[in-house]
Amino acid sequence: MIILTESQFNEIVDHAKKQLPNEDCGLLGGIIDENKKIVKKIYFLTNIDKSPEHFSMDAKEQFSAIKDMRSNNFILLGNFHSHPNSPSRMSEEDKRLAFDKKLSYLILSLAENEPILKSFKIDENKQVEQEELQIK
């Protein structure tokens, strides 16, 4: 399970809307309490692809985000990206790029009137499973 605050959720939605028509992307830093992942900080990164259909995170920004997590005693819990025009599910490309079964892969869909955020996990055989996500 992964837990975000309502203001973190709003932050992601607002930021993703500002990147339209392109996909937004970023990393989630936080802590693990028992088996709950608690997001403490969102790192918005530049989508260097500047595309509505795919994303690549700026490598330098990724590096400094990880550094900042270390200095705060956070760990990398996962990442997120937006789907401006498609549902919140992992595309074939998203699966291909997913590399770590410990990470949560959050996808925010802006295709409907209401933003929809879901979290996924993927195993080494590229089997995707939805992860419980709580906003509170």
Interface residues toward Zn ion, by CB under 5 A: 91, 94
Q: Which is nearer to Zn ion, 56 or 91 (CB)?
A: 91
Q: Which is nearer to Zn ion, 74 or 133 (CB)?
A: 133
Take residue 106 and report the two structure tokens written for it.
């959050």
Q: Which is nearer to Zn ion, 2 or 98 (CB)?
A: 98
Least separation, in Å, of the C-beta of 134 and Zn ion? Answer: 22
Are the C-beta atoms of residues 47 and 19 closer than 8 Å to each other? yes
The pairing of strands 116-122 and 104-109 is antiparallel
Q: Which is nearer to Zn ion, 24 or 94 (CB)?
A: 94
48/59 Cα distance (integer angstroms): 9
Q: Which residue is nearest to Zn ion (CB)?
A: 94
Least separation, in Å, of the C-beta of 128 and Zn ion? Answer: 12
Instruction: Quickly count: other Cβ atoms within 10 Å of residue 89's Cβ.
Output: 14
The H or E element containing residue 79 is strand 75-83
